Amino acid sequence: MPIIKEVCSTGIEELDMKMSGGYPLGSTVLVTGCSGSGKTTMCMQFLFNGARKGERGVFFTITEPLFKLTKNLEGFAFYDKKLIESGMVNIIDLRIISERLGLDTEKYTVEDAGALLDILKDIADELDVKRLVIDSITALCYRLQSPQMIRDFIFKLGTSLAVMKCTTLLTSEVPPQTFKFSQYEIEEFISDGILFLGDVKRKGDLIRTLQIIKMRGTAHSRTKFALNISTQRGIELIPLLKSSEFEFETLLK
Amino acid sequence: MQDTVIESIRERVSVAIEVNQSVGIQVPENRHKDLLEAIFHSMCRNTYDIWTFITVNQTFDYLTKTFKEITKQPNIKFIDCISRAAGISDNSNNCFFLESPVMLENLILEVMNNFKNKKEAMSNAKNKKSDIDKYIVIDSLGALLIYNDSEIIRKFYSLVMNRSRAENIHVVSIFVEEELNSNQLIQFNDKIIVVRDSFID
């Protein structure tokens, strides 16, 4: 397997170690998981860590209002307001952009989606960002009105991201307790990598997990890790203690 | 007689902990408190060492009421695995309250992070000691078996032992005789001490 030497640190030490130093530079990675699995935190940690290294980043949100997003971030030690004020981390609400473009924020036509993509690309170019996040591709596609439109949009997004000179994380929402990478089952095909954030039940309690499903061009672990979110250290990983209980639950599904 | 036994446990445990990387101590329930007293004595005496005490048997609140001197030690961090699960809301700078005793991975992360943080803090201190010894005390494996399957506990213990060896951390594990069967796990240790009613093997 070819090992890509140029990598973009994930901001999570243990995760970097599991994939030869980080995300391959310029790749598009799908971060998939159910609500509360740590997708947004993982993306934010990626952006703030990059900003500390002088790599500008942008976070496009379509699910949460900006004030709510930043309020949730304030508790984390990796969060630094100054990095937002200095423009090293940019958080942009795509719904506000849609409004300014005169688009219907709830329903997009093919043209609307195309215009939004162009704006997104222009912002990334203008800010010269090295790290980009779209949270979430599921919510973005939800606004498109037919499966055909969703397919077209996702492939167009893939083409646009491929020519951008930044490493991109796309979050994808899936129902809880399912081993599925995306809502529309196309998102994974435009991605160079997939991180699956799930959970396992142990004696009725839920343990968050992370698994690297694919990461093109890099040697990576495929084992399942337990994931913990702490305010002091953000996301941390440790090998999951597996038992036959988990295997049995998976077989039942 | 009572004092002689405590003194004897204290000395034996203290020496074994310093010399061996891992020590398993089997103790009858009626000597459990004496053993804790002996271990806390070692912890309070070696203030330059870093200690993490994992309690699954008694709540942190109970321990601090019973052994008052331990709360004053900045080198000791407690991890209480049972208070949150029992719905007891307690807060302390000296203690991390684990959400549930089945969240064993979080328990290991907390232990490792505690050593990392404490070591950094002590390295920055003025009167720093060149070699800081690190210790984990688990009280007890049998109590963890109340909440978890034995298969998971075996893997947990193996992971703790392997990471501890890699990071040069001493592990002291308490096995209470009357608790659920965890006795085969004691074999993981470099040194085994058996405390009996009136003497030590």
CATH of the domain at B82: 3.40.50.300
| Whole-Å CA distances, A219 to A27, A60, A116 | 15, 29, 35
Residue-wise pLDDT for A93-130, tens only, equals 988 888 888 887 778 888 888 888 888 889 999 999 99
User: What residues of chain A lie within 8 A of the CB of B106, using their CB?
Assistant: 226, 228
- Number of domains chain B is built from: 1
* Type of residue numbered A121: K
Smallest Cβ–Cβ distance between B113 and the set A203, A233, A244 belongs to: A233
Domain containing residue B160: 4-194
Asked whether residue B73 is domain-assigned, the answer is yes
Q: How confident is the model at residue A206 (pLDDT cuts 50, 70, 90)?
A: very high
Measure the CA–CA gap between B186 and B105, rounded to whole angstroms.
21
* Eight-state DSSP code of residue A166: S
Smallest Cβ–Cβ distance between B105 and the set A226, A233, A245 belongs to: A226
Measure the CA–CA gap between B161 and A181, rounded to whole angstroms.
35
Q: A221 — contact with chain B (CB < 8 Å)?
A: no
Asked whether residue B200 is domain-assigned, the answer is no
* pLDDT for residue A249 is more than 80: no
Report the candidate in B92, B54, B99, B98 with the shortest Cα–Cα distance to residue B74: B92
Side-chain-side CA neighbours of A47 within 13 Å: the count stands at 30
Q: Please say whether the beta carbons of A45 and A83 come within 8 A.
A: no
Q: How confident is the model at residue A251 (pLDDT cuts 50, 70, 90)?
A: very low
pLDDT value of residue A103: 80
Q: How far is A85 from chain B (nearest CA, A)?
A: 30
Token pair, residue B115, equals 């050593």
Q: How far is A163 from chain B (nearest CA, A)?
A: 39
Asked whether residue B92 is domain-assigned, the answer is yes
Q: A146 — contact with chain B (CB < 8 Å)?
A: no
Measure the CA–CA gap between B25 and A127, rounded to whole angstroms.
61
Whether residue B105 and residue A236 make contact (CB cut-off 8 A), yes or no, is no
* Type of residue numbered A102: G
Q: Please say whether the beta carbons of B194 and B23 come within 8 A.
A: no
Pairing of strands B134-139, B76-80: unpaired
Taking the alpha carbons at both ends of chain B, their separation in whole angstroms is 17
Domain boundaries, chain A: 7-252
| Phi/psi at B142 (5° precision) | -60, -40
In which element (H, E) is residue B122 found?
A: helix B104-124
* Type of residue numbered B153: I
| Whole-Å CA distances, B129 to A119, B117, B119 | 58, 16, 11
> What burial letters (b/e) apply to B11-40, b meaning 16+ CB within 10 Å?
ebbbebbeebebbbbbbeeebbebbbebbb
Helix axes A110-127, A147-163, angle to 10 degrees: 20
Q: Please say whether the beta carbons of A177 and A33 come within 8 A.
A: no
Q: Which residues pair with A100 in a beta bridge?
A: none
Residue-wise pLDDT for B139-186, tens only, equals 989 999 999 999 999 999 999 999 999 989 999 999 998 876 767 888
User: What residues of chain B lie within 8 A of the CB of A207, using their CB?
Assistant: 102-103, 105
pLDDT in tens for each of the 201 residues of chain B?
556 767 777 788 888 888 888 999 999 999 899 899 889 988 888 788 889 999 999 999 999 999 888 877 888 999 999 999 888 887 888 899 999 999 999 999 999 998 888 777 766 665 566 677 899 999 989 999 999 999 999 999 999 999 999 989 999 999 998 876 767 888 889 999 988 876 555
Measure the CA–CA gap between B42 and A36, rounded to whole angstroms.
43
The sign one gets for the Cα dihedral A82, A87, A90, A96 is positive
Measure the CA–CA gap between A212 and A196, rounded to whole angstroms.
6
B153: how many CB neighbours lie within 10 A of its CB? 21
A197: how many CB neighbours lie within 10 A of its CB? 23
Asked whether residue B199 is domain-assigned, the answer is no
pLDDT value of residue A248: 47
Q: A240 — contact with chain B (CB < 8 Å)?
A: yes
* Eight-state DSSP code of residue B14: H
User: What residues of chain B lie within 8 A of the CB of A236, using their CB?
Assistant: 109, 113
Superfamily of domain A7-252: P-loop containing nucleotide triphosphate hydrolases (3.40.50.300)
Measure the CA–CA gap between A36 and A213, rounded to whole angstroms.
20
